Amino acid sequence: MSRITSTILIAMLFISLATTAQNNTDNNSGINAAETLLSSGSKLSIGGYAQIDYNQPFVEGTQQNSTLDIHRLVLLFGYRFNEKTSFVSEIELEHVEEVYVEQAFLNHEFLPWLNLRGGLMLVPMGIQNEYHEPPTFNGVERTNLDSKIVPTTWREIGLGFAGRFDAAALKYQLYVMNGFNGYDGAGKFRGSDGFRRGRQKGAESFMSSPTVAARVDYYGISGLKLGASTYLGKSQSSLYDGLEKDNNAALAQADSSVISIAMVGLDARYRAGGFEARGQFNLASVSNTDEYNDFTGADLGSQMLGWYLEAGYDVFHGLQNDQRLVPFVRYERYNTHAKTAGSLAKNKAFDRTDVTVGAGWWLASGAVLKADYQFFDTAAGSAGGQLNLGIGIWF
Partner 1 sequence: MLRFLIFVCLITVAGVNDPAADFYPQGKAIGYLQKNLKAKKVEVSNRFDLTDQVKDGRKTVVYRFSCDSNPDAVFAVFTESKGRYDMFDYLVITSESGQIQSVHVLKYRSEHGGEIASKKWLSQFEAYSGGKLIYGEDISAISGATRSAMSITRDIPELIQLLQQALVKK
Residue number, 219 or 373, with CB nearest to partner 1: 219
Closest separation in Å from C-beta 136 to partner 1? 8
Q: Is 83 in the site for partner 1 (CB under 8 A)?
A: yes
> d(Cα 229, Cα 232) in Å, to the nearest integer?
10
Amino acid at 214: A
Q: Could you tell me which stretch among 25-33, 142-150, 214-222, 295-303 binds partner 1 (CB under 8 A)?
A: 214-222
Nearest distance, CB of residue 50 and partner 1, angstroms: 16
Among 36, 51, 107, 153, binds partner 1 (CB under 8 A): 107
Amino acid residing at 346: K
Under a CB-based contact definition with an 8 Å cutoff, are residues 322 and 290 in contact?
A: no
Q: Is 81 among the residues that bind partner 1 (CB under 8 A)?
A: no
Residue choice 53, 90, 217, 310 for contact with partner 1 (CB under 8 A)? 217
**Per CB under 8 A, does 108 bind partner 1?**
no
Longest distance between any two alpha carbons in the chain, whole Å: 74
| Smaller CB separation from partner 1, 46 or 389 | 46
First-to-last alpha carbon distance for the chain, in angstroms, is: 25
Report the residue number, 58 or 281, with the smaller CB distance to partner 1.
281
Q: What is the DSSP string of 57-125?
A: EEBTTB----EEEEEEEEEEEEEE-SSSEEEEEEEEEETTTEEEEEEEEEEEEEETTEEEEEEEEE---
Is the CB of residue 383 less than 8 Å from the CB of residue 49? no
Residue 276-315 contact track with partner 1, rule CB under 8 A, x = bound? x---------------------------------------
For residue 326, give the nearest of 358, 364, 356 by alpha carbon: 358
Each residue 27-66 as x (binds partner 1 by CB under 8 A) or -, in order, gives -------------x----x-x-------------------
Name the strand (E) or helix (H) holding 301.
none
Give 256-287 as a DSSP string.
HT--EEEEEEEEEEEEETTEEEEEEEEEEEEE
Helix (H, G, I), strand (E, B) or coil at 171: strand
Q: Is 374 in the site for partner 1 (CB under 8 A)?
A: no
**DSSP structure class, residue 239:** G
**Does 272 help bind partner 1 (rule: CB under 8 A)?**
yes
Cis peptide before 62 (omega within 30 of 0): no
Tell the smallest beta-carbon distance from residue 218 to partner 1 (Å): 10
Whichever of 45 and 230 has its CB closer to partner 1, that residue is 45
Answer yes or no whether residue 153 interacts with partner 1 by CB under 8 A.
Answer: no
181-183 and 236-237 strand pairing: parallel
223 in contact with partner 1 (CB under 8 A): yes
Name which of 58 and 161 has its Cβ closer to partner 1.
Answer: 161
Please say which residue, 131 or 206, places its beta carbon nearer to partner 1: 131
Name the residue nearer to partner 1 (CB basis): 220 or 297.
220
Contact 295, 256 (CB under 8 A): yes
Does residue 321 touch partner 1 according to CB under 8 A? no
Binding residues for partner 1 (CB under 8 A)? 40, 45, 47, 76, 78, 80, 83, 86, 88, 107, 112, 117, 131, 136, 162, 164, 166-167, 169, 171, 217, 219-220, 222-223, 225, 269, 271-274, 276, 317-318, 365
